[in-house]
């Protein structure tokens, strides 16, 4: 499999493939694990689909029990726990009150170590979610089924806002706080939200960031596109003190902390939702310039993240769990908010960058709060490893389990994580999944499977992955060949559809490998993830990276087309191509190749404006590492830009044969420019 966009090729795979190396979980971990039944995979074999997922449903509290675990009669629009009714906020809060009212649901740790941290008990969460839900309903007019856009940093008010929506049956659409006002506007427009929930500002790397200014941009752009935003609800980072320079717009902007006094003591009857009513939308990048609104269900999704939090993260009531992801991404939704809360866990919400004010901050927090489950990304691990003054030995903490997620982890980085951060005592799970999948797809079961650095592992119980070549033939385990990883069976956490675009949903995930579009049999509808992968003879999957026009920067997905279209808005730019350049810290980062309109002269000022266009359109996470202004981009005779060739140049790899290009000579010119 050689891919145009990513340059994943068989030769490359062969080089990266190395000896088998296994690590075993310690006996002490196995003893206490939630999931230690060695028969689990036997119980969850594909022949028993879908009944085995009933036990996931049993983990939840239902207003009305379901009639049918799975309805596959309209592929690929699967329905789970049909006939069941429940409310997600009840499952995450109310049901814990009887025995865990006083337990910490969250510790909010501000970035500044001198600012007091907050403990939010389940009772606190209950009160705050109810009061804010009452405000949303009675002041903002939010009703069941409405979409509410939430653009907030990492603060406790973010899950409170999400759960308040869930209580009312409103569909939240959380936009990552680091995204620009424009990116927020795009999501408001597509989801047709009338309400935006935001915050005045927050701290990052010791600096106060004005966040409210993004709300003004978002609302203005949404209005221009015909999407009216009725109210902007603003939480204050320091309650009682509005701390943004951006003025409030009369009649549109409201300070939540002021309004809340009218709702003291309010309680909101939770909406009893159908299992398949949508719980939220989460926009993610795909192959086109337009992010897609991935729609997740209430019952299926919640059951899936609850079960995987229990079985794979091994969260017990007495554990203290810290996931360093941002709640604005799917990892935070599933494994900070919904899964852990549904289990009644205690977790940490950390506001800022982990290295502030010093590299050992994560260990300081772990020691202070007794964190014993630690969840982060390869980029964060590489960052810790590269930090000069890192000294975990100085801190008294014990991790029983550590998670890596979001991008492939180099075996070397894995080993460092295991020995230095995990002190040879923590089990590691390398969890492979996606925004669309709701929860984990591949991972070892921590007490049952050996760990193998660089491999995510087999499918988690109930998930049956397979690798297909481009013709749809199954690639056998141990063949040493890469292909497209797919899942043979549906599962409760899977996306329901793409918001307002069911055709794109079917095409993107089922278009390539559906055996027969008229078939009503789920076996004919494998889910295509969009990743290249290899299957070793031990049944472990190694994820190689995206096969589409998506690049993975520090575990976050960016659509190359989104970056390119931001740049193409500049009049001076003729063509643009974004490629994934290898980076020691972030795995890959965008590099940009542009050609200019005739008679436009390249300049540093223009390059800077190109970078600014991307940052203001998407956000700082999309900032290209380098902008190469070139006379022309390499193209096929049919006019397709050969990003693979540009990627080879940026990454100092073999370029291969270019003679079939329409303009082979330009490759040399670009090569010289980049090398000089």
Enumerate binding residues for ligand WT7 (CB under 6 A). 284, 330-331, 405-408, 430-435, 456, 529-531, 543, 545-546, 552, 555-557
Shortest distance, position 149 Cβ to ligand WT7, whole Å: 19
Nearer to ligand WT7 by Cβ, of 430 and 449: the residue is 430
Shortest distance, position 83 Cβ to ligand WT7, whole Å: 30
- Sheet hosting strand 147-152, strand order edge to edge: 253-255, 231-235, 195-199, 147-152, 171-176, 278-284, 292-297, 497-498
Shortest distance, position 551 Cβ to ligand WT7, whole Å: 9
Q: With H, G, I as helix, E, B as strand and everything else as coil, classify residue 297.
A: strand
Distance CA 674, CA 676 (A): 6
Nearer to ligand WT7 by Cβ, of 405 and 487: the residue is 405
Q: With H, G, I as helix, E, B as strand and everything else as coil, classify residue 94.
A: helix
Shortest distance, position 244 Cβ to ligand WT7, whole Å: 29
Shortest distance, position 445 Cβ to ligand WT7, whole Å: 15
Distance CA 324, CA 223 (A): 35
Nearer to ligand WT7 by Cβ, of 15 and 98: the residue is 15
Shortest distance, position 465 Cβ to ligand WT7, whole Å: 13
Nearer to ligand WT7 by Cβ, of 435 and 650: the residue is 435
User: CB burial class (10 A; 0-12, 13-18, 19+) of residue 106?
Assistant: buried
Shortest distance, position 348 Cβ to ligand WT7, whole Å: 18
**Which residue in the block uniquely carries the two structure tokens 């939240």?**
172
C-alpha to C-alpha distances, 592 to 234, 563, 568, 640, 647, nearest whole angstrom: 36, 9, 12, 16, 10
Shortest distance, position 417 Cβ to ligand WT7, whole Å: 13
Handedness of CA 45, 484, 332, 390 (dihedral sign): positive
Give buried/exposed letters for 63-72 (b at 16+ CB in 10 A, else e). Answer: eeebeebbbb
DSSP label of 85: E
Nearer to ligand WT7 by Cβ, of 166 and 543: the residue is 543
**C-beta separation of 69 from 492 below 8 A:** no
DSSP label of 537: T
User: How many Cβ atoms are within 10 Å of 676's Cβ, its own excluded?
Assistant: 5
Distance CA 567, CA 571 (A): 9
User: How many Cβ atoms are within 10 Å of 18's Cβ, its own excluded?
Assistant: 9
**C-beta separation of 305 from 339 below 8 A:** yes
Nearer to ligand WT7 by Cβ, of 406 and 590: the residue is 406
**C-beta separation of 590 from 581 below 8 A:** yes
Shortest distance, position 335 Cβ to ligand WT7, whole Å: 9
Shortest distance, position 213 Cβ to ligand WT7, whole Å: 26
Q: What is the DSSP string of 138-205?
A: IIT---TT-EEEEEE-SSTHHHHHHHHHHHHT-EEEEEETTS-HHHHHHHHHHHT-SEEEEESEEEET
Nearer to ligand WT7 by Cβ, of 79 and 557: the residue is 557
Distance CA 167, CA 117 (A): 27
Nearer to ligand WT7 by Cβ, of 438 and 634: the residue is 438
**Number of helices followed by number of strands (H, E) in the chain:** 22, 30
Which single residue brings its beta carbon nearest to ligand WT7? 435
Shortest distance, position 548 Cβ to ligand WT7, whole Å: 9
Give buried/exposed letters for 469-496 (b at 16+ CB in 10 A, else e). Answer: eeeeeebeeeeeebbbbbbbbbbbbbbb
Nearer to ligand WT7 by Cβ, of 110 and 555: the residue is 555
Shortest distance, position 441 Cβ to ligand WT7, whole Å: 9
């Amino acid at each position: 499999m050689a891919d145009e966009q990513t340059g994943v090729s068989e030769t490359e795979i062969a080089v990266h493939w190395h000896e088998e190396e296994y690590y075993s979980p310690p006996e002490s971990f196995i003893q206490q694990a939630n999931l230690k039944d060695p028969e689990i995979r036997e119980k969850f074999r594909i022949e028993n689909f879908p009944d085995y997922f009933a036990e996931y449903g049993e983990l939840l509290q239902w207003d009305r029990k379901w009639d049918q675990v799975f309805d596959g009669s309209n592929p690929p629009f699967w329905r789970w726990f049909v006939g069941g009714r429940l409310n997600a906020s009840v499952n995450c809060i109310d049901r814990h009150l009887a025995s865990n009212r006083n337990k910490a649901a969250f510790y909010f740790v501000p970035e500044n170590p001198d600012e007091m941290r907050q403990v939010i008990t389940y009772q606190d969460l209950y009160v705050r979610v109810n009061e804010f839900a009452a405000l949303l309903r009675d002041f903002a007019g939010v009703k069941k089924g409405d979409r509410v856009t939430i653009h907030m940093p990492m603060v406790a008010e973010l899950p409170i806002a999400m759960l308040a929506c869930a209580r009312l049956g409103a569909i939240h659409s959380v936009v990552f706080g680091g995204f620009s006002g424009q990116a927020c506007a795009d999501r408001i427009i597509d989801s047709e939200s009338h309400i935006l929930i935001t915050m005045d500002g927050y701290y990052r790397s010791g600096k106060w960031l004005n966040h409210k200014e993004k709300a003004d941009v978002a609302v203005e752009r949404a209005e221009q596109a015909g999407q009216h935003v009725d109210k902007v609800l603003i939480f204050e980072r320091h309650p009682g003190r509005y701390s943004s320079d951006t003025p409030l717009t009369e009649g549109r902007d409201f300070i939540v902390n002021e309004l809340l006094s009218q709702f003291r003591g309010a309680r909101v009857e939770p909406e009893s939702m159908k299992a398949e009513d949508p719980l939220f939308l989460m926009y993610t990048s795909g192959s086109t310039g337009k992010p897609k609104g991935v729609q997740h269900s209430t019952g299926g999704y919640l059951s899936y993240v609850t079960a995987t939090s229990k079985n794979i993260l091994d969260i017990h009531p007495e554990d203290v769990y810290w996931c360093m992801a941002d709640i604005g991404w799917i990892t935070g939704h599933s494994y900070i908010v919904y899964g852990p809360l549904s289990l009644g866990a205690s977790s940490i919400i950390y506001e800022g960058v982990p290295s502030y004010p010093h590299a050992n901050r994560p260990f300081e927090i772990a020691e202070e709060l007794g964190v014993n489950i630690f969840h982060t990304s390869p980029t964060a691990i590489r960052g810790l490893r590269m930090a000069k003054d890192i000294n975990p030995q100085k801190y008294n903490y014990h991790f029983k389990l550590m998670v890596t997620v979001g991008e492939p982890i180099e075996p070397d980085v894995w080993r460092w994580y295991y020995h230095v951060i995990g002190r040879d005592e923590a089990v590691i799970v390398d969890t492979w999944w996606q925004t669309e999948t709701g929860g984990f797809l591949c991972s070892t079961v921590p007490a049952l499977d050996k760990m193998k650095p660089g491999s995510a592992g087999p499918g988690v119980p109930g998930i049956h992955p397979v690798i297909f070549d481009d013709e749809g033939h199954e690639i056998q385990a141990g063949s040493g060949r890469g292909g497209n990883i797919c899942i043979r069976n549906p599962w409760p956490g899977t996306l329901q559809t793409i918001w307002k675009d069911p055709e794109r949903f079917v095409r993107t995930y089922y278009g390539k490998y559906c055996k027969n579009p008229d078939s009503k049999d789920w076996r004919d509808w494998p889910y295509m993830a969009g990743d290249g992968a290899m299957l070793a003879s031990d049944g472990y999957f190694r994820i190689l990276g995206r096969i589409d026009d998506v690049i993975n920067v520090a575990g976050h997905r960016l659509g190359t087309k989104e970056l390119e279209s931001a740049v193409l808005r500049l009049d001076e730019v003729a063509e643009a191509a974004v490629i994934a350049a290898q980076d020691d810290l972030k795995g890959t980062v965008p590099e940009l190749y542009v050609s200019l309109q005739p008679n436009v002269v390249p300049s540093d000022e223009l390059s800077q404006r190109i970078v600014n266009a991307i940052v203001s359109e998407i956000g700082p996470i999309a900032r290209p590492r380098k902008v190469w202004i070139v006379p022309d981009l390499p193209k096929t005779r049919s006019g397709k830009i050969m990003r693979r060739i540009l990627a080879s140049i940026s990454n100092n790899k073999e370029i291969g044969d270019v003679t079939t290009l329409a303009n082979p000579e330009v490759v040399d010119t670009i090569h010289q420019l980049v090398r000089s």
